[in-house]
Amino acid sequence: MIVRRSQGEIDLIRSACQIVAETLARLSELVRPGISTGELDRYAEQWTRESGAEPAFKGYVVGGRVYPATLCVSINEEVVHGMPSPRRVLADGDIVGLDFGVVRKGYYGDGALTVGVGQTSREAHDLIRVTREALDRGIEKLRVGNRIRDVSEAIQTHAEAHGYGVVRDFVGHGIGQRLHEEPQVPNYVSRGQNPRLKEGMVLAIEPMVCAGTYEVEVLEDGWTAVTKDRRLSAHFEHSVAVTANGPEILTSLGTEHP
């Protein structure tokens, strides 16, 4: 069942999403050679709690495993679910994906972005830009009467036009009173369910795009997903409401209504 949210509920989800957006922006400013991913995680948790919310990922269970941190920090060939550590230090030229969710008053927000550390290669820069553009192309399709597959197709078409691979093993999702709700939102055209978009649906759109193959594998730690060819991967995510006036990006900075 895909839940349609009332205006009051969307206001609550937006409040959670604004904490996500502000925290991601502040974390991006801290990203520099020499900072550890564990330090980024400590700030994320501290700022989340100061804002009256709780981390959504910490304690989240996937396949019997409990996620131990507030942030997912995925560097270079890491696609998603990189675990922060005080021993993992960012270096000049890395690209780093920050993925982060909170829950406040029972409603969730989820967002992600990828930034370069210091001076990055042209290859890295282009991958980040195209992944960000693919997210925008997908969000543009979040209109009443369109279908989920319209979103998937827009994302896939843009990424593949640049020769990139679109990850299949992880997908976007509905969001609201749980972090992951129906429907799934693949970033590629897949068979199966293809629901029509309706006013009040709230969806987390999150393309994961790879410089080479879209195939991923999970490391020994049970969490970190990496590209099989160990080439770079980038990830962006917004939580978005489908409204009568088109998509409203809830995790954009400064969209909080009074």
Residues that bind ligand MF3 (CB under 6 A): 57, 60, 62, 67, 72, 81, 99, 101, 110, 173, 204, 206, 237
**Distance between CA atoms of residues 144 and 170, nearest Å:** 25
Decide if residue 181 touches Co ion (CB under 5 A): no
Residue 72, contacted partner among ligand MF3, Co ion, none, CB below 5-8 A by kind:
ligand MF3
Residue 67, contacted partner among ligand MF3, Co ion, none, CB below 5-8 A by kind:
ligand MF3
Please report which residue ranges of the chain form alpha helices under DSSP H: 7-30, 37-50, 122-140, 148-161
**Distance between CA atoms of residues 149 and 141, nearest Å:** 9
**Is residue 56 a contact partner of residue 202, using CB atoms and an 8 Å limit?**
no
Decide if residue 110 touches Co ion (CB under 5 A): yes
Contact stretch for Co ion (CB under 5 A) within 11-19, 153-161, 196-204, 226-234: 196-204
CB-nearer residue toward ligand MF3: 61 or 244: 61
Least distance from C-beta 258 to ligand MF3, angstroms? Answer: 28
**Distance between CA atoms of residues 5 and 10, nearest Å:** 6
Beta strands in 140-193, from DSSP E residues, in sequence order? 165-166, 172-174, 181-185
CA angle 21-213-58, nearest 5°?
Answer: 35
Decide if residue 9 touches Co ion (CB under 5 A): no
Contact stretch for Co ion (CB under 5 A) within 103-111, 183-191, 228-236, 240-248: 103-111
Least distance from C-beta 245 to ligand MF3, angstroms? Answer: 26
Least distance from C-beta 77 to ligand MF3, angstroms? Answer: 18
Q: Report 198-217 residues binding Co ion (CB under 5 A).
A: 204, 206
Residues in the chain, overall count = 258
Residue 236, contacted partner among ligand MF3, Co ion, none, CB below 5-8 A by kind:
none
Q: For the sheet containing 238-243, what is the strand order?
A: 181-185, 172-174, 202-205, 238-243, 246-249
Contact residues toward Co ion (CB under 5 A) are 110, 204, 206
